[in-house]
Amino acid sequence: MKKNKKKLFAVLLCVLILSSSVVVQAYTESSWLIFPSVEGVTYKGKTSTHGNGSAMWANATTMASKGVAGGRMGSLARLYLNGSLVKSTGVIYNGGGAQSIIASTPTNSTRGNYKAGGTSYIYNPSTGSYSAHTLINSPAQTFSDSEVEIIRNENGEIYGSEYELLLYGIQPDLVSAIGVDGTEGYVKEADINAVPQTLEEALEYTPTAYEVPLYEEDGETVIGTFIVDVPTEAE
């Protein structure tokens, strides 16, 4: 009887060990990208991917060297699955006295290769406008003889994977994306980058989710819908 109890305990222990190993925390991040100083304050940004074993999400972090007034910096986050955009948020701005602002996308549970991207927005009082700094979560690359293929449609618009093209400093007009029902197509870069342009607009801005059309590569034929989500502010 004691032997059976020991065996049962051992089995239960193995089950508990196996169960506890199911949830795996995944985390990768880019290097910090340093931006030009504004009024003596240095800004920087980075992106990171996060996972809990059942879903993935992306963060975009913008940080100042000290606390700054409200609306002086903003973050927008994007999550890519196998090179295609699957989650994108609007921009979120800092409150008064904050030293960082982190935008976080909703989660996605499809299996595949995930990367994070995003944009940092820095307000410059001398110009009265924001400068946008593209963030990308990728290993450092060395220039070589390799070439990136740039494909244009009949309207002259560049289309393809935003993640891959941004590695070469190319912003596509039509971004490869996966719609709400799993349809693969393209969203217009201008549609997913609608952000306030002035400090006054940023301070009054309330992020809301909105739909944008999902197109074929011609940028005209609508085949579905993509959602630009409300960003959540990560701690």
**pLDDT for res 149:** 80
Phi, psi of 199, rounded to the nearest 5 degrees: -60, -40
**pLDDT for res 168:** 79
**pLDDT for res 166:** 86
State the amino acid at position 101 in one-letter form.
Answer: I
Note down pLDDT in tens along the chain; length 235 residues: 444 544 444 433 343 323 333 333 467 888 899 999 999 999 999 999 998 878 899 999 999 999 999 999 999 999 999 889 999 999 999 998 999 999 999 999 898 888 899 999 999 999 999 999 999 765 433 334 456 788 999 999 999 999 888 877 889 999 999 999 999 999 999 999 888 889 999 998 888 999 999 999 999 999 999 999 999 876 6
Number of other residues whose CB lies within 10 A of the CB of residue 191:
18
DSSP 30: P
**pLDDT for res 111:** 86
Give Rg (Cα) of the chain: 21
Whole-structure pTM value: 0.80
